[in-house]
A = this chain, B = another copy of it.
Amino acid sequence: MPDDLSPPEKKPGQLLARGVCRHLLGHDFVTVEELTPTSGLRVDVMALGPKSEVWVIECKSSRADFQSDHKWQGYLEWCDRFFWAVDEDFPTDLLPEDTGLIIADAYDAEILRMAPEDKLAPARRKVMVQKFARHAATRWHAARDPDFIPSWGL
């Protein structure tokens, strides 16, 4: 794994997220990372499809990482489909069967089991697309204009 493609500051879960985001673009889903749907919750990857489909993907780098997550069921109400993303060595028997499963590495991923659909109500979908839009635009603004440091922070 060449160093220039995997900067040391990325954690294992973040590397999985990178592979997931790359793969989902091939399904015409755009993504952001670390979005906060509501106070106290932060999803690893949120993906937005061409028809405003909202998927959430939680990336787990190890058994311990999964077992210490006591919040994941709280994510279900913020998306149409919920997936786990894990690497090929992860003991996938641990994962609930009624969730989606993605096998990922830092470079790509593959959907092994499609998550069941539980469609958002229209009002909540509207809120989520708006949150997604503002999250993505804020990050993209900071990236394209790195010299801009507003007094209130970005």
Contacts of A77-134 to chain B: CB distance below 8 A:
126, 129-130, 132-134
The interface residues of chain A, by DSSP majority, are classed as: helix
Kindly state whether residue A48 has any CB partner on chain B within 8 Å.
Answer: yes
Q: Among B4, B136, B147, B152, point to the contact of A140 (Cβ < 8 A).
A: B136
Is the CB–CB distance between A25 and B141 below 8 Å?
A: yes
Is the CB–CB distance between B145 and A144 below 8 Å?
A: no
Kindly state whether residue A21 has any CB partner on chain B within 8 Å.
Answer: yes
Query: Are A18 and B145 CB-contacts (below 8 A) given A52-B130, A150-B25?
Result: yes
Kindly state whether residue A76 has any CB partner on chain B within 8 Å.
Answer: no
Assembly of this chain: how many copies? 2
Which of A26-34, A36-44, A62-70 forms contacts with chain B? Answer: A26-34
Q: Which residues of A contact B (CB under 8 A)?
A: 4-5, 18, 21-22, 25-26, 30-33, 48, 50, 52, 126, 129-130, 132-134, 136-141, 143-145, 147-148, 150, 152, 154
What are 7 A-B contacts with C-beta separation under 8 Å? A48-B137, A52-B130, A132-B133, A132-B137, A139-B144, A143-B143, A143-B144
